[in-house]
Amino acid sequence: MLMQHDPFRDLDRFTQQVFGTMSRPSHMPLDAWREGDEFVVELDLPGVDPGKIDIDVERNVLTVRAERLSRMPDAANAVATERSWGVFSRQLVLGDALDTEKVDADYTAGVLRLRIPIAEKAKPRKIHVTDRDSIVQREDRSIDA
C-alpha cells in the first residue's frame, strides 16, 4: 500500500479538530470544581434552546450534545458570521468516585450547570477500632464467675 504524506491535509485535519467548522463547531468551554460533596461542571452554551441539549452517561463517560441553529435567514446577504452554529459535543471522563446515577442539570442564562454527587463509597468515613484485649478479659471474668 502506498502512503503519501500531504502536509496541507494534515494541517487542515488538525485545525478542524481544534477549531471545528461552521457545520461542526468544537467549542464548548467549561469550568469544573468540587464543592462540598458534589462535583460541579459549568458549560457555556449561549443561544441554545434547552430542548436541543442532550446529556448522556454511559459507564463513566458523560456526553453533552447541544445544537444552536442559525437565526440568519437563508436569503440574507451575510456581512459577518463569527458565531458558530450547528451541533456541539463534549465528553467528560468521570472518576469512579462520582455517583453518575444522580446527575442534576440546570440551564440558566446560557450556562449549563451539572451537579454530580460524590459517591457514598468514596466519602471519607471513620473506622471503629475494637480492643480485642478488653473483649478477652471480659470473657475470662464471665467464665470465672
**Domain ranges (residues) in the chain:** 24-73+81-144
C-alpha dihedral over 53, 59, 60, 61, to 10 degrees?
-40
CA distance 1 to 109: 53
Q: What is the mean pLDDT of the chain?
A: 80
Q: Quick one: pLDDT at residue 20?
A: 54
pTM, two decimals, is 0.67
pLDDT, mean of residues 85-112: 92
Buried b (16+ CB within 10 A) or exposed e, 2-16: eeeeeeeeeeeeeee
Hunting for cell 450547528 — which residue is that? 86
Highest mean pLDDT among 19-23, 67-71, 114-118: 114-118
Q: Which CATH number fits domain 24-73+81-144: 2.120.10.30, 2.60.40.790, 3.40.220.10, 3.40.190.10?
A: 2.60.40.790
Element containing residue 139 per DSSP (H, E):
helix 132-144
The residue count for the chain:
145
Is the confidence at residue 21, as pLDDT, over 70? no
Strand (E) or helix (H) holding 11:
helix 7-19
* Residue 144, all three cell numbers: 470465672
